[in-house]
Homo-oligomer: A and B are copies of this chain.
């Protein structure tokens, strides 16, 4: 079947190009792959593939390299997922299980991902808005200074200091603490914010101003999405692999990595926890990143995606291996979050 062989040729081109970083010609292709046909035949197929836009020549009289469209076809139809090796799985499991707290989980994941894929890894911190309130602590730092500590189901801790106009005694604080907790523990953040807003009305008129101040600080802490934008980046040193194509590839990537908003947008397209999303080259909104691809997926306890993680690298990358690594890490992280 001719069509099948054409696809086999495309697959072979992608694999060779990713491995060697050099345009691949018809001769070397038949040498390295058991296609069972002559170079001339492969040339015909290549001409057809080029016609259809899957491959291109950097210049006349050079081999072919895949286009973004070619990579896309490869990723969608030609690549089978490459399962991780046993040792790799074990390494992931043991490394992540040693994590102490949420920060540590994120840090470790990002390192892990960078090591496994040899690319730049990006891990978004779990979103605040989808997590629930585990506990609210009210502490008197001095007679009129109150420290509020908000502990979330994901292990995240937010804190705010509130300066009160008047002194307040321990009994009051204890009462406040218990009533606030009764009102919000176990609720999702958005819901908790609503419950909080209604809270001052339940108190004596005399106390309401104080309660209102505390509530305001808490609401601010729950609705402040600044921290949603936190990401950890790792494996930047892998950029050094390039060497060639500096301006085209590395500079824009370094810039993007600084801009966490951009990163989040890139990752954000991948919201489902069960699928690995691949954005190839120009497919994204950023023209400067035309030479880079993003492989990302959501993660979180259950099948609910609290946040995304993934890698950013050159379009010319090992997609099957990378996708497998991203998926594996996402699963393990989700499991850890489930237990914690």
Contact = CB atoms under 8 A, between A and B. Distances in A.
Contacts of A100: 160, 226
Say what secondary structure dominates the interface of chain A: mixed
A147 interface: yes
Interface string A221-236: 0000010000000111
Nearest to A137: B137
Interface stretch (A194-202, A208-216, A253-261): A253-261
Interface string A125-139: 000000000110101
A149 B141 contact: no
A166 to B, nearest CB: 21
A187 interface: no
A251 interface: yes
A240 B251 contact: yes
A239 B243 CA distance: 13
Nearest to A251: B240
Contact of A254 (B135, B151, B161, B236): B236
Interface in A315-335: none
Contacts of A250: 240
A212 to B, nearest CB: 20
A155 interface: yes
A237 interface: yes
Given A157-B157, A254-B240, A151 B139 contact: yes
Nearest to A224: B100
Nearest to A241: B251
A240 B251 CA distance: 5
Nearest to A234: B258
Contacts of A246: 240, 243, 246
Given A240-B251, A240-B254, A251-B240, A151 B155 contact: no
A247 interface: yes
A159 interface: yes
Contact of A135 (B147, B234, B239, B340): B147
A203 to B, nearest CB: 22
A233 to B, nearest CB: 9
A175 interface: no
A70 to B, nearest CB: 29
5 contacts: A101-B160, A134-B139, A135-B141, A161-B340, A237-B258
